[in-house]
């Protein structure tokens, strides 16, 4: 060698770096292609007993790849003072976000932007099916309304209305009686009558069949009326249900769980369900007390004992009487106990959540369940004529009269609050409302939902109200913004819509993948053909480059679009450019008679300025492209820029380390043709 090799790096350092790169390669490999890494993790968890989780980071795909819709809206801010435009646009975004969320779109992306004088809101809805519905829903101008509590009692019917109702019902009754006569004459006709006349839509379709009546509280009066009839019989009178006259026919009778009748004595402990706070004894003490009572209790004296000892409210009068009840009426341990007992027995101590019980079973009787068919003839009721009573009552006050809603701070406590300011008309209306409602709540509705419902402390006559509450600054700000948005007449207009069907999206993903693989293969073959072993090293670097890029895409994350992937494939070509420059330099240096190691260092050093300058201009272009903010182009610029920066690392650091590693072996001497020079290295 002609010059001392001071520029070369010590072997140990090279080996150390190579090792570091190997670790990096494994790491990015794992992130870029998780299935492989996860298999390794599984194996390790199995053999070493670690509990490492899987890597599950995926690529973020843009709308054009996963399918979806992007809607761009222009907000008309001409009515809004300049200082409030940004805030009101944020309000619009929030409203759109809420509306979109109701559509069940996964991770909708709602963004605002200002371009010159135009203020935009864009909604990216991935995987949405009904775009039309989304457009309709988003496009509504939000409605802000003030409502007061509805405290008016339900009014009575006027004499006239009552008269009309009575007349109607008399007619209905006549009709019902006619049907009843018909049914009694021919029980088989009930089905047809139900189909033609019944006002109960659900059973009408089934020919009046109500199924078995037990356990259906709304039919209890019918069950009570027909329980003694046999199958096939029609009840010889009308059942008068609220809202209907009913003609009932029994279709089927079956035995049902029997009912039981009895009494009980209850002893509670502190903390048992519905135990009064005066109860102080512990559970053990309660049990002990009841055991003592049990010693005195017999079937004959049970009622008196219950009056004396039972802690059930009202036991002194009732003597613990439970009346008739059936299955499902009592808590489970109690029911189980009493059904298991014989008539006239006193039970052991039974524990429920209410306390300890002693039970006396007085009687048991069989019951029937009945399947009935019924014709309902509608009766008009007062509630049919009067409108339903809502919780809130409309007022004249709405978003139109609200001038602004802002975040404010209490002068004394400094806690955040919402300050409302009304215009002249709103001030008058709000004064009236607050006067009427001192001590009551006034609700502010946004899009038909209660947004906030503060209680009125005092009449507010000056049109300036504050809403206090335990808000954080952030909460108060958001609420104010939402009210502000609802308050502002700021219409939005759909100016652009881009929809990509999922078919095309999948298509594009597949094609991009194919293109990427071929791009890689083309570049790799080219490098191998021209530069042989160094070429091979640059391919290894290129693999690492792909791994690092994928990892960055996943971790940042960069949203991948079709153009973005094209940018990445393009960057595959650019990534080896630096290596081409270095290798051509390397050829020259080797030709000029330098030893391989020396030539290597020299080539990397001297090629660097061109590499730096060339890539800088492309990066400048990327920056401008990114600023050229169409989302398609942003994706391209971002992947290209990430690619270029990554490639500077891989094509310089990685390739150099690999080549140094190879240069340290005997290979360059033995097989010089692998290293770009045909003749043996001159010594």
How many angstroms separate the CA atoms of 375 and 454, rounded?
49
Does the footprint of another protein cover residue 570 (CB under 8 A)? yes
| 465-504 binders of another protein (CB under 8 A) | 494-501, 503-504
| 404-423 binders of another protein (CB under 8 A) | none
Does the footprint of another protein cover residue 126 (CB under 8 A)? no
Q: What residues form DSSP beta bridges with 246? A: 239, 376
Q: Which of 144, 358, 622, 663 binds another protein (CB under 8 A)?
A: 622
| 187-246 binders of another protein (CB under 8 A) | none
Does the footprint of another protein cover residue 132 (CB under 8 A)? yes
Choices 183-191, 423-431, 457-465, 505-513 (CB under 8 A): range interacting with another protein: 505-513
From the CB of 495, what's the least distance to another protein, in Å? 4
Does the footprint of another protein cover residue 569 (CB under 8 A)? yes
Does the footprint of another protein cover residue 627 (CB under 8 A)? yes
Does the footprint of another protein cover residue 637 (CB under 8 A)? yes
How many angstroms separate the CA atoms of 351 and 267, rounded?
10
How many angstroms separate the CA atoms of 670 and 680, rounded?
9
Which C-beta is closer to another protein: that of 335 or that of 588? 588
Tell me 633's DSSP state: H
SS3 of 96-114: HHHHHHCCCCCCCEEEEEE
Which C-beta is closer to another protein: that of 115 or that of 255? 115
Strand 60-61 versus strand 559-560 pairing type: parallel
Which C-beta is closer to another protein: that of 484 or that of 631? 631
Q: What residues form DSSP beta bridges with 274? A: none
From the CB of 233, what's the least distance to another protein, in Å? 56
Does the footprint of another protein cover residue 633 (CB under 8 A)? yes
CA neighbours closer than 13 Å in the CB half-sphere of residue 358: 28
Choices 30-38, 129-137, 434-442, 654-662 (CB under 8 A): range interacting with another protein: 129-137
Does the footprint of another protein cover residue 519 (CB under 8 A)? yes
Which C-beta is closer to another protein: that of 474 or that of 530? 530
Which C-beta is closer to another protein: that of 71 or that of 194? 71
Per-residue binder mask for another protein (CB under 8 A), 543-562, x = binder = -------------------x
> What are the distances in angstroms from CA 108 to CA 57, 105, 238, 265, 463?
19, 6, 58, 61, 38
> What are the distances in angstroms from CA 628 to CA 119, 369, 600, 619?
17, 77, 41, 14
Choices 44-52, 201-209, 550-558, 609-617 (CB under 8 A): range interacting with another protein: 609-617
Q: Which of 580, 600, 662, 676 binds another protein (CB under 8 A)?
A: 580
How many angstroms separate the CA atoms of 131 and 69, rounded?
7
Which C-beta is closer to another protein: that of 337 or that of 527? 527
Does the footprint of another protein cover residue 577 (CB under 8 A)? yes
Does the footprint of another protein cover residue 111 (CB under 8 A)? no
Among residues 295, 271, 294, 278, the alpha carbon closest in space to that of 353 is found at 271
Q: Which of 386, 630, 673, 682 binds another protein (CB under 8 A)?
A: 630
Among residues 323, 321, 322, 326, the alpha carbon closest in space to that of 227 is found at 326
How many angstroms separate the CA atoms of 599 and 383, rounded?
99
| 53-82 binders of another protein (CB under 8 A) | 72, 74
How many angstroms separate the CA atoms of 126 and 62, rounded?
8
Give me the helices (H) in 407-501, please.
Answer: 424-436, 473-487
Q: Which of 2, 102, 118, 592 binds another protein (CB under 8 A)?
A: 118
């Amino acid at each position: 060698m002609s010059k001392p090799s001071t520029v070369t790096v010590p072997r140990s350092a090279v080996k150390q770096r190579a090792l570091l790169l190997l670790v990096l390669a494994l790491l990015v490999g794992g992130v870029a292609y998780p299935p492989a890494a996860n298999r390794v993790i599984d194996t390790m968890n199995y053999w070493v007993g670690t509990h490492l989780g899987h890597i599950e980071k995926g690529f973020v795909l843009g709308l054009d790849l996963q399918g979806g819709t992007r809607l761009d809206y222009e907000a008309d801010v001409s009515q809004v003072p300049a200082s409030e435009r940004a805030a009101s646009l944020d309000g619009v975004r929030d409203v759109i976000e809420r509306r979109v969320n109701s559509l069940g779109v996964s991770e909708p992306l709602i963004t605002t932007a200002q371009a010159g004088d135009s203020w935009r809101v864009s909604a990216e809805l991935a995987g949405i099916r009904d775009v039309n519905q989304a457009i309709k829903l988003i496009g509504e101008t939000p409605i802000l309304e003030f409502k007061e509590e509805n405290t008016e009692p339900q009014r009575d019917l006027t004499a006239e209305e009552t008269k009309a109702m009575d007349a109607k019902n008399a007619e209905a009754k006549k009709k019902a009686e006619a049907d009843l006569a018909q049914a009694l004459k021919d029980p088989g006709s009930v089905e047809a009558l139900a189909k033609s006349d019944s006002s109960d839509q659900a059973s009408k379709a089934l020919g009046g069949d109500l199924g078995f009546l037990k356990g259906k509280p709304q039919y209890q009066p019918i069950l009570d009326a027909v329980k003694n009839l046999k199958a096939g019989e029609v009840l010889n009178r009308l059942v008068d249900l609220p809202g209907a006259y009913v003609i009932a026919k029994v279709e089927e009778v079956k035995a049902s769980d029997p009912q039981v009748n009895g009494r009980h004595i209850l002893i509670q402990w502190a903390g048992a369900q519905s135990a009064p706070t005066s109860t102080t004894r512990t559970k053990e003490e309660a049990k002990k007390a009841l055991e003592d009572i049990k010693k005195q209790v017999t079937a004959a004296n049970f009622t008196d004992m219950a009056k004396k000892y039972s802690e059930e409210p009202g036991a002194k009068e009732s003597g613990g009487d439970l009346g008739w009840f059936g299955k499902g009426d009592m808590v489970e341990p109690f029911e189980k106990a009493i059904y298991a007992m014989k008539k006239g027995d006193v039970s052991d101590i039974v524990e429920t959540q209410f306390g300890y019980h002693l039970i006396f079973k007085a009687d048991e009787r069989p019951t029937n369940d009945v399947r009935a068919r019924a014709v309902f003839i509608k009766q008009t009721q007062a509630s049919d004529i009067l409108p339903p009573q809502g919780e809130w009552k409309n007022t004249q006050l709405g978003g139109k009269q609200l001038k602004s809603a802002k975040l404010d701070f209490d002068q004394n406590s400094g806690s955040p609050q919402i300050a409302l300011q009304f215009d002249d008309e709103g001030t008058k209306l709000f004064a009236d409302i607050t006067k009427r409602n001192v001590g009551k709540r006034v609700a502010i509705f946004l899009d038909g939902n209660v947004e906030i419902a503060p209680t009125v402390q005092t009449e507010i006559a000056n049109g300036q109200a504050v809403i206090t509450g335990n808000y954080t600054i952030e909460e108060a700000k958001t609420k104010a913004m939402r009210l502000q948005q609802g308050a502002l007449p700021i219409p939005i207009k759909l100016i652009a819509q881009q929809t990509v069907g999922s078919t095309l999206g999948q298509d594009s993903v597949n094609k991009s993948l194919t293109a990427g693989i071929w791009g890689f293969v083309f570049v790799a073959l080219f490098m191998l053909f021209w530069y042989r072993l160094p070429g091979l090293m640059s391919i290894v670097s290129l693999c690492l480059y792909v791994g690092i890029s994928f990892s960055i895409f996943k971790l940042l994350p960069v949203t991948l679009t079709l153009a973005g992937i094209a940018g990445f494939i393009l960057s595959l070509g650019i990534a080896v450019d630096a290596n081409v420059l270095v290798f051509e330099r390397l050829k020259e240096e080797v030709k000029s008679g330098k030893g391989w190691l020396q030539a290597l260092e020299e080539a990397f050093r001297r090629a660097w300025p061109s590499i730096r300058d060339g890539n800088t201009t492309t990066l400048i272009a990327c920056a401008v492209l990114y600023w050229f903010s169409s989302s398609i182009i942003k994706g391209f610029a971002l992947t290209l820029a990430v690619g270029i920066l990554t490639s500077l690392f891989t094509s310089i650091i990685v390739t150099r380390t690999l080549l140094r590693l190879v240069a340290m072996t005997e290979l360059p001497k033995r097989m010089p043709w692998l290293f770009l020079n045909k003749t043996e290295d001159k010594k």
